[in-house]
């Protein structure tokens, strides 16, 4: 019987084997270890005592801090998602429908990726001389007499966090949306024009629905990255805002592994829930295998 099953599914198993060899030891096993650690006790010195407990979860769910952290993180996620979607959609729209020359469109598309030739951290830090109290924007604003005092909200603020995130993540919106828009048959747009649709109607009734899967893919990238990040919030808010990951990073730095593990497990489920919600709105398989 085993042989029969192998005959039937052997080729498929062979196909997924290389991926499984990476995923199982480097993703699945660590996740299981974290999951297991979240149900154990710490000894306060970085050790773990093998006695099962639900205390880590109980602490997490009874602390007001947890909900504040999620509120903060989700706030940044939603703001970043909204702005990067807006930018990403219109940049992709411009590239696909307004740049007539395809070579130029591809060139401009590659230009969008130029900032990614430097590291994330440098791209983020380089906002500081621009947004700081003595930074370019404040100096310029004061120079032309717009304000008399430097604008403080520019740096080390929620504003700065969102700016840095949008800058980092818009490309993750552009790429999948560009991809799904590029597949729209131009004749379909022309047919809409022929029926008397305005530019706005075409956008609303044809292009947005037909790029839905690209929007969903981009949203998954942005949401899962912002939800899982702490560094940008930490640096760009100047310590003024906290995040879910930032909090359990603190736990780890004081060797509190089991509570950190519990936070990680909860976050994983929250992000999975968000991704599942996004996937409910589109048939992602259509995008992968048209």
Partner 1 sequence: MARVRGDIELAGVCKTYDGEVMAVEGINLKIPDGAYCCLLGPSGCGKTTILRMIAGHEDPTDGEIVIGGENVVGLPPVARRTAMMFQSYALFPHLSVRDNIAFALRVRGQSKAERYAAVDRLMEKVRLTELADRLPAQLSGGQQQRVALARAAITEPRVLLLDEPLSALDEQLRIQMRQELRRMQQELGITFVHVTHTQLEAIALADVVVVMEKGKIRQAGPARDVYAYPRDRYVAEFLGGQNVLSGRVQSVDGDSIVVASPQLHGIEVPLRKGLVPEPGGDVDFAVRRDEVALVRPGASGPPPHGAAISSRVVAVEYQGSFVKVMLDTVPGREFVAYVPERRFFDDPLAIGDVVLATWPSQSARLLD
User: Among residues 108 and 208, whose Cβ is nearest to partner 1?
Assistant: 208
For residue 256, the minimal CB distance to partner 1 (Å) is 50
For residue 74, the minimal CB distance to partner 1 (Å) is 30
User: Among residues 74 and 284, whose Cβ is nearest to partner 1?
Assistant: 284
Q: Which residues contact 85 (CB under 8 A, 6 or more apart)?
A: 173, 215, 218, 219, 222
User: Among residues 112 and 282, whose Cβ is nearest to partner 1?
Assistant: 282
* Listed residue (247, 226, 203) closest to 65, CA to CA: 247
Using CA atoms, how far residue 167 sits from 55, 145, 174, 230, in Å, is: 40, 28, 12, 16
User: Among residues 21 and 205, whose Cβ is nearest to partner 1?
Assistant: 205
For residue 200, the minimal CB distance to partner 1 (Å) is 10
For residue 206, the minimal CB distance to partner 1 (Å) is 7
Where along the sequence are the contacts to partner 1 (CB under 8 A)? 185, 187-188, 190-198, 201, 205-206, 209-210
User: Among residues 206 and 274, whose Cβ is nearest to partner 1?
Assistant: 206
For residue 42, the minimal CB distance to partner 1 (Å) is 53
């Amino acid at each position: 019987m085993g042989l029969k099953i192998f005959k039937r599914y052997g080729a498929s198993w062979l196909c997924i084997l290389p991926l499984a060899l990476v995923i199982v030891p480097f993703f699945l096993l660590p996740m299981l270890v974290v999951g297991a650690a979240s149900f154990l006790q710490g000894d306060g010195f970085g050790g773990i005592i093998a006695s099962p407990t639900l205390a880590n979860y109980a602490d997490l769910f009874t602390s007001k801090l947890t909900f504040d952290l999620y509120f903060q993180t989700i706030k940044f996620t939603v703001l970043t998602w909204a702005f990067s979607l807006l930018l990403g959609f219109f940049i992709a729209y411009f590239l696909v429908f307004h740049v007539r020359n395809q070579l130029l469109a591809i060139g401009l598309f590659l230009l969008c990726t130029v900032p990614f030739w430097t590291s994330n951290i440098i791209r983020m830090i380089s906002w500081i001389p621009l947004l700081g109290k003595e930074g370019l924007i404040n100096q310029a604003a004061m120079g032309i007499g717009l304000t008399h005092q430097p604008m403080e909200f520019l740096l080390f603020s929620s504003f700065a966090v969102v700016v840095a995130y949008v800058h980092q993540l818009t490309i993750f919106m552009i790429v999948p949306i560009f991809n799904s828009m590029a597949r729209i048959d131009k004749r379909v747009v022309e047919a809409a024009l022929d029926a008397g649709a305005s530019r706005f109607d075409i956008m609303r009734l044809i292009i947005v629905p037909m790029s839905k899967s690209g929007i969903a893919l981009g949203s998954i990238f942005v949401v899962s990255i912002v939800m899982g990040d702490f560094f940008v919030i930490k640096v760009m808010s100047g310590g003024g805002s906290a995040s879910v990951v930032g909090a359990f990073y603190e736990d780890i730095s004081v060797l509190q592994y089991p509570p950190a593990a519990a936070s990680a497990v909860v976050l994983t489920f929250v992000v999975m829930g968000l991704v599942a919600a996004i996937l409910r709105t589109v048939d992602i398989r259509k995008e992968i295998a048209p």
